[in-house]
Amino acid sequence: MQKLGDVLAWKLDFVESSGQHWHLFINSHGGDLVRSNMLDDSGRLEYSIVQSDFCEISGFKYPHRIEYLNRDGQSLGTEVIDQIVIAQRSLELAGQVAH
């Protein structure tokens, strides 16, 4: 566990099949992915993605604010999502329609 601001988070090490190494921080109370740190080959922080302002839509929680930080913690940019719309469509499987 690690403290990120006022959030107590689980820290998970994740390595993609490409070899890219990440530290993922998951809020221990809500299960939200609140921060992702991409590391370089030497294990040094390359950049971070910070997700916040989570809202529940159709039973799933989505961040409405995503900030990108360089290794020094300076902002590279921020995305603020005003609206998330979930559209449900029928799925056809082997000639049958599933809902």
The tens digit of pLDDT for each residue in 78-88 reads 999 988 888 87
CA 93 to each of CA 71, 88, 90, 97, 98: distance values in angstroms, whole numbers, following the listed order: 47, 16, 10, 6, 7
d(CA 32, CA 85): 19
Q: Which residue has the higher pLDDT, 58 or 16?
A: 16
Q: Residue length, the chain?
A: 99
Contact indicator for 24, 33 with CB cutoff of 8 Å: yes
Specify the pLDDT at position 3: 85
Residue ranges of domains in the chain: 2-98
- CATH architecture classification, 2-98: Clam (2.50)
The tens digit of pLDDT for each residue in 26-76 reads 999 989 999 999 999 999 999 999 999 999 888 889 999 999 999 999 999
